Amino acid sequence: MTNPIIEQVLERHPKVIWEYERALNLGSIDRTRSHSNQARIGQPIVPETAAQYKQAMLNGDVFPPIVVFPDGKRRFVVADGNHRVEGALEAGISTLPAYVVVADDPADR
């Protein structure tokens, strides 16, 4: 399910190219790089938060798409949604909807 708020933010950046992916394979995410991409460096994933996402997903709750960018090696780094990824993996879910953002400048990502 697309998210108009995320799309508005992405559209404001002329140097950013993006596409919506209905089912991004979570196995293609570089979780180590994704976790190091967070402001919470000491604890990038809060286990309780991931567990809450897991339970909510098992209950059928729907969340906004994650936001990822390619790392140039056929993998993706999560810019927004690490807890959703962890919750999905814990729940045995192998794909999530995602916005794939391509920009040369890391600041634009």
* 80-91 mean pLDDT: 97
Report the alpha-carbon distance of residue 53 to residue 19 in Å, rounded: 24
Residue-wise pLDDT for 14-47, tens only, equals 888 999 999 999 999 999 999 887 777 777 899 9
Identify the residue whose tokens are 């809060």: 46
Q: Are 60 and 26 in contact (CB under 8 A)?
A: no
Q: What is the pLDDT of residue 99?
A: 97
Let me know: does 96 contact 26? Beta carbons within 8 Å: yes
- The per-residue pLDDT for range 47-82, each reduced to its tens digit, is 999 999 999 999 999 999 999 999 888 899 999 999
Q: What is the pLDDT of residue 104?
A: 67
Following CA atoms 36, 29, 85, 10 in sequence, which dihedral angle do they give, to the nearest 10 degrees? Answer: 80
Flag whether pLDDT at 109 surpasses 60: no
CA distance 19 to 22: 10
Model-level pTM? 0.89
- What does the alpha-carbon distance between residue 7 and residue 10 come to, in Å, rounded to a whole number? 5
Task: State the pLDDT at residue 38.
Answer: 74
What pLDDT is attached to residue 92?
98
